[in-house]
Amino acid sequence: MAVDTVMSVRNGWRQVDTERGTFWHCGFEQSRSVEQLASELLSLIDRPQDVAEWLKGLDGFFALVARNDRAAVAAVDRVRSIPLLWSANAEALVVSNDKKSILERISGAKAVFDESMVHVFAQSGFTIGDGTLVQDIRQLCPGQWLHSHWQPGTVKNYHTWRPFRPTSENDADLERPLADLHEKIISKLIGRAKGCTILVPLSAGLDSRFVVSGLAAAGYENVVCFAYGKSGNREAAIGRQIAKRLGYPWHFIDYTTEFVRAGHYSDAHRSYLETTDSLTSIHFPQDFPAIVRLKDDGIVTDDCVVVNGQSGDFITGNHIPESFTAKIEDREARWDRLLDALIAKHFRLWDALATPNREAGIKKILRNRLESLGGLPDDAERDHGLYELSEFEDRQSKYVLNGQRTYEFLGLDWHLPLWDRDYLDFWESAPKSAKIGQSLYKHVLRKTNWAGVWTLPVNPTRIRPRWIIPLRFMAKVAHAPLGQARWHRFEKRYFEYLMSALNAYAPWPYAKIAQDKRGARNALAFHVEDYLARKGFNWTGDVGLDHAR
């Protein structure tokens, strides 16, 4: 079988040429250099079983491709933090890290879109499973790899994360192990940074506070914190207090409408959107303009390691819907609860597109994918784990971790301590009682109280700008007779643009958002609309989604 690798050496990717073959790599491994990884993999490349065992032993965040004149290997890490695309037919297998290159190789750059995935994408901003927006292109999912000796298109798992596996653990018995694990992953982060500046986008929540307080408790001094958004927003206010208490420098980037809009339409941002597009997710829009400004001001240098709090909020249980607290025995009722919860949370960006037929189609794709991963657990008490697996594989690994593309594009290294392999293992087997509401995570963080910053408020409510407070109050009173749902629709349409802490709607004029009647869930809906419009898809009526090209 012919194997073609069309790799782009940019945005963090490196190529190593040896006598045994060629190796491409992005990311890092905790104990090996890129050259060591190349040497080890190329020595095993003809022995698939040995390659699978080798991949199991890697500890880091990576995507890699290797080939010689007989075989090829491609793999992503356990969370698929860096995407890889592939396409296969009876004659050839093509592997690539660049959507433009693989499109040109398989179709002369004229994409044949997968209409079902386009509808999924329009309502979520990401695809499902190994699907992409293009029919003949697939992607590797978390913990997957492929080898050219297998039949065309065959992919194997060297690791599977299954948070619905049976557990007999007691919450209280997990407190000390989790506290010890927190110390371990901070130690690994320090080893990764090797004395370089660790740059932390610091919010008012738990996860970035976990990172900076852990570094402070460990005595790591070379840390710079920053926040962004509208002046006076709650995230920045608390973040500044945390940084001050820890003695770390803190910088704020004011997201005025003009600043965010200029950044969005800049040549650099257009290049970022094009070169980081993997046909599987919308870009992560938040911190690109902030880091560009920090680089321009000389605060961020190319030897920095960026460490955000992704995605402690998810992995520690905060995304488990309340509906999973009840036990249901009937299998179809269990499927209904699971699919309804997924649709409501992740696949309803536009009210106008949320028709019964469309949602039934998305549910069918979701169920087929989850059936292929093993289906419902034997124990109905673990159904929440299948919900978590679906979000992990799709929203988290595709959309949320797409934020790392910002750092790579801007020439910066990064690390994800809360996606550490040991952390994945711990929360995979944690009981539901320890995860609902992040009960165990919050308890351990507050009990250990690293660096004394856990008495400061977490995510306090604050409405800004101040002038909007009385106007919003009067509008709310006027809507009281019409019901809460009517008020929320009005608030979202007319006030959210002005109140967004990150000025998330700034790329578009206020009138466009206020006059839009299609029921956008949030600003991400408009980013998704723009993304699909660049590929020729538009919707302007109540339910239409048309391909113009």
Number of domains in the chain: 4
Both 272 and 380 in one domain: the answer is: no
Both 276 and 249 in one domain: the answer is: yes
Model pLDDT for residues 324-341, shown as the tens digit of each residue: 999 899 999 999 999 999
Both 200 and 273 in one domain: the answer is: yes
pTM: 0.95
Range of the domain at 523: 468-547
Model pLDDT for residues 492-548, shown as the tens digit of each residue: 899 999 999 999 999 999 999 999 999 999 999 999 999 999 999 987 654 456 665
Model pLDDT for residues 252-262, shown as the tens digit of each residue: 999 999 999 99
Both 418 and 496 in one domain: the answer is: no
**178 pLDDT band (50/70/90 cuts)?**
very high
What is residue 546's predicted lDDT score, i.e. its pLDDT? Answer: 67
Both 132 and 224 in one domain: the answer is: no
Distances (CA, A) of 534 to 226, 400, 531: 32, 21, 5
What is residue 1's predicted lDDT score, i.e. its pLDDT? Answer: 57
Rounded to an integer, the average pLDDT of 31-57 is: 96
Rounded to an integer, the average pLDDT of 105-109 is: 79
Nearest-angstrom CA–CA distance, 312 and 185:
13
Both 210 and 228 in one domain: the answer is: yes
Structural contact between residues 264 and 507, judged by C-beta atoms closer than 8 angstroms: yes
**549 pLDDT band (50/70/90 cuts)?**
very low
User: To the nearest whole number, what is the mean pLDDT of the chain?
Assistant: 94
List the structure tokens of 525: 């809906």
Identify which of 55, 59, 9, 11 has the alpha carbon closest to the alpha carbon of residue 32. 59
Rounded to an integer, the average pLDDT of 219-248 is: 95
Both 213 and 349 in one domain: the answer is: no
Distances (CA, A) of 325 to 255, 330, 348, 375: 39, 15, 23, 19
What is residue 542's predicted lDDT score, i.e. its pLDDT? Answer: 47
- Whether 167 is covered by a domain: the verdict is no
- Whether 143 is covered by a domain: the verdict is yes
- Whether 463 is covered by a domain: the verdict is no
**107 pLDDT band (50/70/90 cuts)?**
confident
Model pLDDT for residues 115-143, shown as the tens digit of each residue: 999 999 999 999 999 999 999 999 999 99
Rounded to an integer, the average pLDDT of 24-52 is: 96
Rounded to an integer, the average pLDDT of 170-177 is: 92
List the structure tokens of 253: 């980037």
Q: What angle (nearest 5°) sits at the alpha carbon of residue 198, between those of residues 447 and 245?
A: 45
Rounded to an integer, the average pLDDT of 12-32 is: 97
Which residue matches tokens 């995407």? Answer: 83
- Residue 207 DSSP code: H
Both 435 and 356 in one domain: the answer is: no
Both 412 and 264 in one domain: the answer is: yes
- Whether 461 is covered by a domain: the verdict is no
Q: What is the largest CA-CA distance in the chain?
A: 77
Rounded to an integer, the average pLDDT of 31-35 is: 96
**88 pLDDT band (50/70/90 cuts)?**
confident
Nearest-angstrom CA–CA distance, 45 and 26:
18
Nearest-angstrom CA–CA distance, 46 and 304:
37
Nearest-angstrom CA–CA distance, 224 and 305:
10
What is residue 543's predicted lDDT score, i.e. its pLDDT? Answer: 46
Any idea what the CATH number is for the domain that residue 444 is in? Answer: 3.40.50.620
Both 49 and 30 in one domain: the answer is: yes
- Whether 166 is covered by a domain: the verdict is no
Any idea what the CATH number is for the domain that residue 30 is in? Answer: 3.60.20.10
Instruction: Classify each residue of 51-70 as buried b or exposed e, where b means 16 or more C-beta atoms within 10 Å of its C-beta.
Output: bbebbeebbbbbbbbbbbee
Residue with the larger pLDDT of the pair 131 and 149: 131
Model pLDDT for residues 352-385, shown as the tens digit of each residue: 999 999 999 999 999 999 999 999 999 999 999 9
**110 pLDDT band (50/70/90 cuts)?**
confident
- Whether 299 is covered by a domain: the verdict is yes
Distances (CA, A) of 509 to 229, 323, 497, 505, 523: 18, 38, 9, 8, 12
- Whether 291 is covered by a domain: the verdict is yes
Nearest-angstrom CA–CA distance, 361 and 549:
24
Range of lowest pLDDT (97-111, 409-423, 427-441, 517-531):
97-111
Range of lowest pLDDT (211-225, 238-252, 313-327, 533-547):
533-547
Both 361 and 237 in one domain: the answer is: no
Residue with the larger pLDDT of the pair 3 and 351: 351
**289 pLDDT band (50/70/90 cuts)?**
very high
Residue with the larger pLDDT of the pair 469 and 246: 246
pLDDT at 62 over 70: yes
Both 144 and 289 in one domain: the answer is: no
